[in-house]
Amino acid sequence: MYRYDAVDRLIVEERVAQFRDQTERYLAGLIDEDAFKPLRLQNGLYIQRYAPMLRIAIPYGVLSSDQLRTLAAISRRYDRGYGHFTTRQNLQYNWVKVEEVPDILAELAKIGMHAIQTSGSCVRNVTTDAFAGVAADEIVDPRPYCELMRQWSTLHPEFAHLPRKFKVAFNGAKEDRAATPVHDLAFDLYRDAAGEVRMIVKVGGGQGRTPRLASIIKRDLHWSEMLTYSEAVLRAYNRIGRRDNIFKARIKILVEALGAEAFAREVDDEWAHLRNGPNTLTNDMLARVTAHFADPTLEATHGAPSRLSIDARFRAWKKRNVAKHRHPDHAAVTVSLKREDIAPGDATADEMDALAGLADRFSFGEIRVTHRQNLVLPNVAAAQLESLWRELDKLGLARANIEMASDIICCPGGDFCSLANAKSIPLSAAIASRLAPIEEELGPLSIKVSGCINACAHHHVGHIGVLGVEKAGEDWYQILLGGRPDGEGRLGVLIGKAVRGDDVPRVIDRLALHYLSVRASGETFIEVVERIGANAFKAALEVEEHVAA
């Protein structure tokens, strides 16, 4: 994983001192709220429904066990003893005090962490596949390229006040696990015939009020030109992106308005002045960053193969939560943070401490955060899987449900967020409970629940997406079908009018049962939706409503 050097540490420490001064002046009345807002946002500080919220950056989702322990300690001292892992591979504290935020940032700085650019109209936390560097289907390890992007974009003065927020993602595997189609700027990495790393560049993806899938504007970009081309993209967006209407300011609106080809020409015009300039990457630059990713040496397992466990719960967990590793004697283990009666993505301080200990024992002290709000131990010896499972089971963290119906992605919703139109956490629990009897039979099923149009839970790209809307002070929800965030990249479509919150679990149960009634052998839920169309599912719901009436 990446190790901060002296330059990184100095930048973060100076940023903490700067924000401490800004906060003290704000609390003393020397800076008004309007002036303080952009300062706090670019340091990850929000004002939520009940209390301030602080968002911590976890670049490309990688954590050390010591960092996770510090996050746990901070949650005990400054929050309510837990943290919330998000779909942007960040961590949020929902109950901080404004006057204590500089102290939190100072403690984070000691372990090479910060909250820089986790909000505001700037380049946000760079994300990638949580299995980067270990996935069996990986073509190119994207982590060094993520880090080069992070270093270049952090505190970049030209792009500190873009028209709107700007999110960047990298994918280096055959399967896109980084949701690149719904990012403002995204890179698919591959190798050409000569073995050189090249990139497919996509822009204009995003969700929210006007969801759009990213368009390809450049193919075969050599890795050395990643930053100069990215700078051209950002300059074009900064120059001609709309600033008169916050709802039309994202780059997705600009790309749609101009067309992808026209926008690509704008980028090429900028690139003509930047190409071969000082931001052109060199082998030495790449080697410098790559050397910071000190991956462990994985030993082969010798001797007789381990016995087949007789524990059915372990076998189910291994089937659902264990992924193939590039090393045949190791595996990547996903720890589900989707538990009954606990908000998806939440982990208590005690759980974080315990997971840090398990990371030390079983995974060389490393943890990853996924965009599905779960955690990954990336380097577990296959011979130790059952021992790890038993430890997780003691902690209540061995639920075998990855990519299943109860592995629901969910935003904080009306329980915390000041922007939410409806609650999402209790609804997610009700949906999971309703589908529990048929979850195993359903197989892989992605359900995503957002409390408002901002789509923090990515409901537009769920196999089933749920969007909270308000009607006369009550929680109502729209239901979408057929979305997917992978390389296929599809947006879900509405399948009817909004329904009351109490009716949502029943409607989703009906969709699930219809899938079971029409699937062919081996077909997944999303494959059936794509074969027969969302309208067929809508018709099945209408038939049920007619019979019930």
Residue 466 CA: distances (Å) to CA of 150, 179, 449, 458, 500:
32, 18, 5, 9, 12
Residue 545 has pLDDT above 80, yes or no: no
**Which helix (H) or strand (E) segment is 508 a member of?**
helix 504-518
pLDDT, greater one: 515 or 295? 515
CA nearest 94: which of 58, 52, 56? 52
Q: For the segment 92-130, what is each residue's pLDDT rounded down to a tens digit?
A: 999 999 999 999 999 999 999 999 999 999 999 999 999
Residues 87/456, Cβ–Cβ less than 8 Å: yes
Q: What does the pLDDT look like over 153-173, one tens digit per residue?
A: 999 999 999 999 999 999 999
CB 62 within 8 A of CB 44: no
What whole-number distance in Å separates Cα of residue 525 and Cα of residue 233?
37
Residue 549: is its pLDDT beyond 80?
no
pLDDT digits (tens, 9 = 90+) for 42-59: 999 999 888 999 999 999
Mean per-residue pLDDT of the chain: 95
Phi/psi of residue 545, each to 5°?
-65, -40
d(CA 136, CA 329): 12
231-274 tens-digit pLDDT: 999 999 999 999 999 999 999 999 999 999 999 999 999 999 99
Q: What is the pLDDT of residue 295?
A: 86
What is the C-alpha to C-alpha distance for residues 282 and 495, in angstroms, rounded to an integer?
Answer: 50
- pTM score over 0.75: yes
